[in-house]
Structure 1
Amino acid sequence: MEDEATRHRLRAGFDRAAEDYQRTRPVCPDRLFDDLIDRAALRPGDRVVEIGCGTGQATVPLARRGLAVTAVEPGAGLAAVARRRLAGFPAAEVVTRSFEDWRPKGAPADAVVAVNSLHWIDPALRYSKPHELLRPGGAMVVAECRWARPADADPFWTDVQEDYRAVGFEGDPPPPPERIGPWHLPPEARGLFEETASLRYPFQVRYSADDHLTNLATQSGTHALGEARRAEFLARVRHRLESLGDPRLTVTFVALLTVGRRA
């Protein structure tokens, strides 16, 4: 997903369904945010820049922990939802702009945080710009949620792969959670940051059949299919769920947290 035009097109898709995104996207577990504060050595009042906040799934937990968060989000619809959710946190603000184009004001940040967003940033700025924004010793924090499929998962999760294959969905089926290891800073970041923590957090979310379909519809891989194949894919999954009586589904994720200290 390194092609710039593709990256911009797919990340813009999230903004077209901001409320659906807010309702159905998984939120990292609370203990990840507690560890984030601890491993990044943050205290209430510290200045944090968040890259691509979406509707605030990470911004709200950070603001609740007393951090002064400036969240930079290019999607106007997503940013509007985030502002609404952050109305009770006067130290948090949402800036509607791409991270690449945003120019900060004030003192250097104590941390730069990217949750499920870093891969959308121009590779040339992905680590160099956070390094510029941070004070010496400040923290670069990367977190994400990855789908997993346990060995004892409901047969639906195996059977639905037929629908993915039928429309030419790119990528592999989710691996078992134990095969999703910690994520480490890549070589291009290591001259800028010293990695100090790399942790993982398996967790599960219960979805209604409708919410699972809504979640699928918001995903970049689904948007990448194009309108016709996207509609076919969602119709196939809907038919499969209806044939099962629209069951509630247990979805398994592994959240990953990586912290680096600015050199």
Structure 2
Amino acid sequence: MTNGGLFAGTGAFYARFRPGYPKVFFDDVIRRFGLDGSGRLLDLGCGTGQLTIPLAGHGTEAVGMDPEPDMLTEAAQHAAAGKVGNVTWVRGGSADLSRQPGRFRLVTMGRSFHWMDREQVLRTLADTVEDRGGLVIADDGCLARSTTPWQHIIEGCSTSS
């Protein structure tokens, strides 16, 4: 059992039923951010590793961070099964972001940003992401028809490469 958080005990279900991301998405991220096998990657709110594992081979190190131990256990099992060995799994939430030493070429958040203190996270990431790096917020919602304040802010950001 876990710490009794909202997602306690759901790791196996996430790993089995949570939709992944299409290859074209990963190809675009790799191209846009020049992921050439160098640089560090951080997946904040990584869940069972749907972003972490496919991107890990495009950096020297990937860090998957999630507050739910059950999610990290599933993620580590899937990484091992796929022979992905350059991932460090870290228990923590967005409030623990400042504990991650160093800088990252790319930070990803898949279906997790809405759970975070968004202003605090973006402030912290401003000092964490390399100058030529970036942030990817992947979600199922349509940002073109944003409805929440944080979506309006993202909508105002440039998406050009």
TM-score range, shorter chain: 0.7 to 0.9
2: CA distance between counterparts of 1:76 and 1:186? Answer: 32
Aligned to 2:20: 27
Out of 144, 153, 156, the residue aligned to residue 187 of structure 1 is: 153
The alignment status of 1:140 with 2:135, answered yes or no, reads: yes
Structure ID, larger Rg: 1
Question: Given the superposition, is the C-alpha separation of residues 183 and 139 from structure 1 closer, same or farther in structure 2, using an over 3 Å criterion?
Answer: farther
Tell me the residue number matched to 1:116: 111
Q: Read off the aligned partner of 1:195 and give its amino acid letter.
A: S
Deviation at 1:140, TM superposition (A): 1.1
- The answer to which structure, 1 or 2, has the higher relative contact order (CA under 8 A, 6+ apart) is 1
Structure 2 equivalent of residue 196 of structure 1: 159
Q: For residues 77 and 30 of structure 1, do their structure 2 counterparts lie closer, same or farther at Cα, with a shift above 3 Å needed? A: same
2:45 partner amino acid: G
1:58 aligns with 2:51: yes
What do residues 116-138 of structure 1 show as CA deviations (whole Å, max 9, x unaligned)? 11111113313112112112232
CA spacing shift, 1:33–1:49, aligned 2, 3 Å? same
Which structure 2 residues correspond to residues 160-239 of structure 1 after superposition, within 5 A? Answer: 180=142, 182=144, 186-187=152-153, 195-197=158-160
Offset of 1:13 from its aligned partner?
2.4
Q: Distance in 1 between matches of 2:140 and 2:22?
A: 10
Identity over aligned pairs, percent:
26
Q: Which residue of 1 aligns with 2:10?
A: 17
Report the aligned-residue RMSD: 2.5
Q: 1:71 aligns with which of 57, 64, 69?
A: 64
Q: Any conservation in 1 of the 2:107–2:136 contact (CA below 8 Å)?
A: yes
Instruction: Determine if contact 1:50/1:72 at 8 Å carries over to the other structure.
Output: yes
2:31 aligned residue: 38
Per-residue CA deviations over 1:54-100 (Å, capped at 9, x if unaligned) read 01111111124455211111001001111111222222111011121
Q: Secondary structure at the match of 1:137?
A: strand
Residue identity matched to 2:105: D
Q: Aligned AA for 2:153?
A: P
Given that 2:51 and 2:110 are in contact with CA atoms closer than 8 Å, whether structure 1 keeps it comes out as yes
Alpha carbons of structure 1 residues 134 and 31: separation in structure 2 relative to 1, 3 Å: same
- More strand per residue: 1
1:105 aligns with one of 95, 101, 106 = 101
Unmatched segments (≥5 aa) in structure 1: 1-8, 147-179, 198-258
d(CA) in 2 for partners of 1:189, 1:130: 18
Aligned residues between the structures: 151
Q: CA deviation at 1:195?
A: 2.4
Q: How does 1:91-102 map to 2 (within 5 A)?
A: 91-102=86-97
Q: Residues 104 and 45 from structure 1, CA distance in 2 versus in 1: closer, same or farther, beyond 3 angstroms?
A: same
1:20-69 deviation line (CA, Å, top 9, x unaligned): 11100111111101101111222213211111000111111112445521
Alignment of 1:122-133 (within 5 A): 122-133=117-128
TM-score of the superposed pair, with normalisation by structure 1: 0.51
Post-superposition Cα deviations, 1:167-219, rounded to whole Å, max 9, x if no partner, equal xxxxxxxxxxxxx46478643896xxx5234xxxxxxxxxxxxxxxxxxxxxx
